[in-house]
Structure 1
């Protein structure tokens, strides 16, 4: 998908995933474990990479992040604005960009992507989200945020055990449902290239 201009369908799909991320951020965000809202954002960021590919998937997450920083209430608990930059959970938001990019890149590297590759790529994306987000949260609490009593690196990871089963299941689900949509978009891209050739 690289080295070409944006088409209307590309911009539309980016907008769709920005909206899905906003919905996913607030569907279940009233549940908070430690300092971490339980959301569907990992699922949608993985799905963005699996369906849109590395380039558009990452762009959709960049747009989502910028829209939220600009003040739109698209983050968990209907928050938005530059204040998110100093919150311990901002690392998760940043990770969505890399999650989408890597998920899409792994799939793109497969000559004929299989369902197994989609599932593997989705799980890799989820792992990246957990590693980057949790480590950022830990250092944020240690360096500038007010940490809860008894906070430790182990506790930060203990908080992540609550959403882990949900994210594993949803990442596998993303890997299962994405192939058909991905292949349909690839055919659309091929037709587009033939028409402008």
Structure 2
């Protein structure tokens, strides 16, 4: 297969880098999306969409570009963060997980384009995000970051209970939305072969 990136591919990579930056800081644009002091970010939602819409290769490229853009200092991470110092922050594991999320979600839907497959891919992506991100956060706090008093592995997972319902709902919605787009916009014109570039 042709491995060259076309203009439409590069454009979609740029779109998802921008969407990830917006998703990371959505509460800065929409303050009411803070519920009970917990910000509702959309990074996982857009990482899943990148995979199921762009496919495994292009989705992973988009999220890799997003990560590097943030590491070189562009404020695209949560709370308008950026810079190489981000790599030692406890939450960096979640950022790294987005690349794998996009890749795996893309791989799943490349095999079959049914609605259940899209939803399954989205939920698998969510599990990857939580497992990788939470475990790396735990080890970061244990080995180099300043852990809260009495911090345990169980506490790390308890923190993730708060955003979990929101993320499950958004993951299912991402699967439904992407399937709908696949049957309409993405199956036509210059989008038609986007996922098949590998």
TM superposition score normalised by structure 1: 0.88
User: What is the CA-CA distance between 1:89 and the residue it aligns to?
Assistant: 0.3
Which 5+ residue runs of structure 1 have no aligned equivalent?
A: none
Deviations 1:95-118 (A, max 9, x none): 0000000000001122xx111100
Alignment of 1:1-197 (within 5 A): 3-28=2-27, 38-110=40-112, 113-183=113-183, 184-188=185-189
User: What is the CA-CA distance between 1:186 and the residue it aligns to?
Assistant: 4.7
Task: State the distance in 1 between where 2:23 and 2:138 align.
Answer: 23
Aligned alpha-carbon RMSD (Å)? 2.4
Deviations 1:135-164 (A, max 9, x none): 000000001000001110000000000110
Of 84-93 and 180-189, the range deviating more from structure 2 = 180-189
Which 5+ residue runs of structure 2 have no aligned equivalent?
A: none
User: What is the CA-CA distance between 1:46 and the residue it aligns to?
Assistant: 0.3
Task: State the distance in 1 between where 2:101 and 2:191 align.
Answer: 26
- Decide whether the 8 Å contact of 2:8 with 2:191 is kept in 1: no
- The change in CA–CA distance for 1:153 and 1:37 in structure 2 (over 3 A counts) is farther
Task: State the distance in 2 between where 1:21 and 1:68 align.
Answer: 11
User: What is the CA-CA distance between 1:39 and the residue it aligns to?
Assistant: 1.7
Question: The residue matched to 1:28 in structure 2 has which SS?
Answer: helix
- The change in CA–CA distance for 1:165 and 1:190 in structure 2 (over 3 A counts) is closer
